[in-house]
Structure 1
């Protein structure tokens, strides 16, 4: 996984989350990449367990990386109220924090099907192929439709052995 500054940034974020014991699962473009897709992404999609304690650990991990007062504005109630909270880092990268995916999937459901991928000695909890396919199939965006095709093929290969 060598595609420049964003991948380095991604690993730093995951390492910081792990150090603070944040309960999270990577979804979206980076999940696709970790499952072997050659797809491009412009942000990091992180499904966060939406508890007050976990949000505090999330903020502590972000503060380790960034000297940014706006981190204090990330709240547990916002994660429950909004589909996505977009945090723009001082480096110009975006982290999308997700506390729920409508009625489609809870954090617990995604967490139950996660896989751990290790990249450069950093363990990364990533949404499993089946659950990721489930999340991608219900959307209208073209990139999600392409992701679903990739994931269906990957599932076929996994089932064949």
Structure 2
């Protein structure tokens, strides 16, 4: 298991332990879809509720660290970081998409023995377009190529 896989599996295990429903998004999600992207963090989309914020604090305590708001008050995310594990809890994904909508298009994958809800690649692509930041825009051509390739393979298999 490589380090990215270990990070995703560890984040999924901790989220499960604190009963935090989440969806893997961002470059970690794109990587699981087969895109050769580089990332240092695990992005998890969660509902923004007081209960989930408490679960994120518990997640951090299990790691022996604290919750950070790296871009407050402008961001819609919390970060938990311990050693090489960086987990960003995203409260806003795409154009204010509802968690339930993204969840309905997600799939479950096993990573390091852990079940992980994975956002669809089209949702990850649309969110990167919506974010519009240079890092996200730079990843788009590769992500779109991976999506087209997957769609062509699916057509051939039918």
Q: TM-score range, shorter-chain basis? A: 0.7 to 0.9
Q: What is the match of residue 106 of structure 1?
A: 98
Q: TM-score, normalised by structure 1?
A: 0.78
Please, which moves more after superposition, 47-56 or 140-149? 140-149
Aligned residues: 151
Unmatched tracts of structure 2, length 5 or more? none
Does structure 1 residue 67 correspond to structure 2 residue 59? Answer: no
Q: What is the match of residue 125 of structure 2?
A: 133
Secondary structure at the residue paired with 1:103? coil
TM-superposed CA distance for 1:11, in Å, is 1.2
Which residue of 97, 104, 111 maps to 2:89?
Answer: 97
- What is the RMSD computed on CA atoms of the aligned residues? 2.5
Q: What is the match of residue 149 of structure 1?
A: 145
In structure 2, do the counterparts of structure 1 residues 15 and 83 end up closer, same or farther at CA, with 3 Å as the change threshold? same
Cα deviation 1:81-103 (Å, max 9, x = unaligned) = 6233343x231442222101353
Q: What is the match of residue 38 of structure 2?
A: 40
Give structure 1 regions of 4+ aligned residues with deviation exceeding 3 angstroms. 83-87, 136-140
Cα deviation 1:50-74 (Å, max 9, x = unaligned) = 111122122212321x222x32x66
In structure 2, do the counterparts of structure 1 residues 90 and 135 end up closer, same or farther at CA, with 3 Å as the change threshold? closer
